[in-house]
Structure 1
Amino acid sequence: MIGTSSRLLRLLSLLSSRPSWTADELARRMEVTDRTVRRDIARLRELGYDVESDPGRWGGYRMRPGHHQIPLVLDDEESLAVTVALREAAQTGLLGDDQAVLSALLKLRQLLPARVATQLGAMDDVFEHTTRAGGLPLSPGLLAGLATACRRSERLRLSYRDAHGTGSTRMVDPHRLVFTGNRWYLVARDADRGAWRTFRADRVVRAEPTGQVVRVDDPPDAAKFVAETLTSGYPLYAVVRLHVPLDQAMRAVPPPQGVHRPDGPDATIVELGGTDVESLADRLVRLGLPLTVVSPAEVRDAVRRRALALAEHNS
């Protein structure tokens, strides 16, 4: 049984995660009785939190917009972690517009204790970053809105531009946001077509919440779904057994570039695409990992030729 304070924090988190909850839903999620939920709601109100409720058996609880939040207190390690994360976000475009991220970073750095600022300065001296791949501007506000809709399972009216600049409006049920290393993708169910889709977040013009909470049945593995979508346009595919554990294989071939499945504790099957046999063979050799090309035979032969050439060159 968790303590009262921990339970109240859990209740606050749930109330902030979607538009409304019934007492029965909250009781099931927190593994307590309806009576305990009502008592905890009363405690939150005594503490100054604006929790609204609808009367009746099917009534629900919700946080009033703009309700008072818990103050944020960070220790030294947490402050350093948040600052480093913001700097990485500014370098990679992880949170969208660089200016908004840099503004937040500068404000936070002014509040850092001297000892933490010294640690951060030492890290600045040794960190290097590669050039970020280009993409369309992405608003942090839009990204936050998409994330909130995913968390709340709230249907969106999505204004979207495809790769050719053609605009459309879709009703979608958001599931997850996936970051590929240079772009964000929204995985959502197209409500009109009843099919799962990926949408590049930087091509979303507007995402309007509808207030309708939906139940998403049998959602896909979001990261795998994005990976399969991004690799579905290649004219040639190879199936390779990398003789390394899954986590190491996923670092060598990031999920957006291949589809992975473990093959025992020390090997991983990876399917990846390429434009032609020679370029795909070159890519596999450059991985620098022990591997076996399962198929096709022409890629296996090309990798073998390169391995023999390298052996002769180094003999």
Structure 2
Amino acid sequence: MTPVSTRLVRLLNMVPYFQANPRVTRTQAAAALGVSVKQLGDDLDQLWLCGLPGYGPGDLIDFEFSGDTIEVTFSAGMDTPLQLTSPEATGLLVALRALADIPGVVDPEAARSAIAKIEAAAGAAGHDNDVVAVDEPAPVESNAAAEVRAAVRDNRAVSIDYYAASHDTLSTRIVDPIRIVLVGDQSYLEAWSREAEGVRLFRFDRIVDAAVLDEPSAPPEPATQAPPDTSLFDADPSLPSATLALAPEASWMFEYYPMRVLRELPDGHCEAAITYGSEEWMARQVLGMGSAVRVLAPESLANRVREAATAALETYQAAARSGS
């Protein structure tokens, strides 16, 4: 499915394109806009519903179709170039420069080109005193960041060499990218980890190497439909998360650990999520709570807790038998 932002940009460009190319054919227009003829028809149907406030006859964008050609008969003002005020241009330049310095979010060369164009336009409009053009090179982007950004853009799976600070280990993982997100002043790749069978966030400056694979990114649909959830992450957003069932007597845990309530039950119990750096540590915490805490996910953590509890019970029973 095409992202909404991608289609919006195309729709905004279509009216000026048709005005600059009167009587262009559907096939020619579709090729120039990089869409199928069917998608072009859907876009035209969408534009017919757009226009000026009032949205009645004479307010909406209109086209004339002659045979297989298309011509704009009413643009509703969408052919008017965007005029930025000096404060708007300054704000946009500051934002672009900030984005260009954050790995993976935008193509540094494209961002620098946009900065130069905005500076030139602002200067031509007489805003030289407010927007100062600076001749500066585009930030240098690492090969790993460029590869990951390309994988997200082209919807391809990617192999990454990732340094996990919580474990002080470097591992190779194959992930299915979902999107790039910003948390604070850091950029992260949100992706489906095939190894962990769950969504993880990978900090860009800890991706040591990356290679786009010749296969499509295929995260489960629920993972792609859900918005980014960074509320759980305290120190390192790449940490895994566990879902726990808590009895009322274990509610004090919310005061001591980065936890979030997922669901409250009528009997006072609740389901909560918690992040952890080590599965061994998490298992010990759960075991220490006894029957007041139960692991619902992930299955690997639940199995570790179950096995540890079984081993402890067998040791206790063996000790009891030998002492009797």
TM range (shorter): 0.3 to 0.5
- TM-score normalised by the chain length of structure 2: 0.40
The structure whose Rg is larger is 2
TM-score (normalised: structure 1): 0.41
